[in-house]
Amino acid sequence: MIRSDAVLILTIALLAVAMPAGALGTAAPAEPTSELSATVVSVTDGDTVNVQYENGTNDTIRMLGVDTPEVHIENDPTKFEGVPDTEAGKQCLDAAGENASAYMKNELQAGEQITLELDEESDGRGDYGRLLAYIHDDGQNLNYELIDIGHARVYDSQFSQSERFYAAESDAQAAERGLWHCRDPSSANGLSITEIHADAEGDDRDNLNDEYIVFKNTGTAQIDLSGWTVSDAASHTYTFPNGASLAADESVTLHTGSGEDTQTERYWGSSSAIWNNGGDTVTVTDDTGTLVTSKSY
């Protein structure tokens, strides 16, 4: 329901929020609109994206209705229902915040075209003058996806899609997806990416086994890795074979080249380098396709 401020004020407001913060007097869409086209400049974290409009002005988007764990400041577990206000809870949320940030950086590349959808039931701009909007990319509402995957909680505010978002949050909580495994961090699968060695000594192509990723089980129970996948931003994929597992507090190294698999050493079997020396994203999904963890470098 539109607020009592009414249609005229809403129309003016939609035109105003379409303009970047501090850009009053610069060119903006000629007609009020609930959708804006923009180009991704950079991703700050899991719920904040910097964009440029067609007229060349820049803006910062605070994704509407979602709140991902922090990556630049200390997390407060009391903001996330059921997460214990303990050091373990904070550390779990820290990792979840990194995962959410990596997910968004993987989804939104610099230079990519996206659509911003405004919501007439929300405030036009939030803290620090950031535009509140849904981000649509390749037909997906990324705000909703963050909630559904478990990378974010619903931010308690007024917006038209809140009922749908809260339903997705309940499903994610029930399945302990993403950050919601932090409700009991000691029983979480605990798989962490502890080292990314992308730049092998010498020519990467001639030393593939010195290009590797190290995974550690920081939880308290053994992880069955059967069917789990590891992939890069270009969708090169390695699948752990049936029977692969990782005991609590143990590590496994995944080398790019070839060799004999053991409990602690695994080999991709690739004939070429996988991990870009200049930066890439390591993504791990389980045997159902659910994101377990990811890390960008």
**Band of the pLDDT at 167, cuts 50, 70, 90?**
very high
**Band of the pLDDT at 166, cuts 50, 70, 90?**
very high
Residue 130 annotated to the active site: yes
pLDDT at 186: 54
Residue 62 annotated to the active site: yes
Compute the average pLDDT of residues 88-104: 87
Contact 143, 66 (CB under 8 A): yes
CA 268, 286, 67: angle at the middle one, nearest 5? 120
Report yes or no on whether pTM surpasses 0.85: no
**Band of the pLDDT at 15, cuts 50, 70, 90?**
very low
pLDDT at 189: 58
Compute the average pLDDT of residues 119-140: 92
CATH for 6-22+30-185 is 2.40.50.90
Give the HSE-up count for residue 61: Cα atoms under 13 Å, Cβ half-sphere.
33
- Diameter over CA atoms, the chain: 70
**Band of the pLDDT at 1, cuts 50, 70, 90?**
very low
- Parse the chain into domains and list their residue ranges: 6-22+30-185, 189-296
Task: Tell me which amino acid residue 155 is.
Answer: Y
Compute the average pLDDT of residues 11-26: 43
> What percentage of residues in the chain have a pLDDT greater than 70?
86
Q: Strand 265-267 and strand 251-255: pairing?
A: parallel
Per the residue annotation, which of 107, 125, 130, 153 is the catalytic one? 130
| In the block, residue with structure tokens 């609590």 | 248
Structure tokens at 23: 């850009």
Mean of all residue pLDDT scores within the chain = 86
Which span out of 23-32, 88-97, 210-219, 223-232 was modeled with the highest average pLDDT? 223-232
Residue scoring higher pLDDT (126 or 22): 126
Q: Strand 223-224 and strand 245-246: pairing?
A: antiparallel
**Residues 189-296, CATH architecture:** Sandwich (2.60)
**Fold match flag (6-22+30-185 vs 189-296):** no
Structure tokens at 87: 């050091």
Compute the average pLDDT of residues 202-218: 93
Residue scoring higher pLDDT (2 or 156): 156
The per-residue DSSP string of the chain comes to ---TTHHHHHHHHHHHHTSPTT-TTS---SS--SEEEEEEEEEEETTEEEEEETTS-EEEEEETTEEPPPSSS---GGGSTT--SSHHHHHHHHHHHHHHHHHHHHHS-TT-EEEEE--TTS-SB-GGGPEEEEEEETTEEHHHHHHHHTS-EEP-S--TTHHHHHHHHHHHHHHT-GGGGGGSGGGS--EEEEEEE-S-SS-GGG-GGGSEEEEEE-SSS-EE-TT-EEE-TT--EEEPPTT-EE-TT-EEEEESS-----SSEEE---SS--S-TT--EEEEE-TTS-EEEEEE-
pLDDT at 163: 96
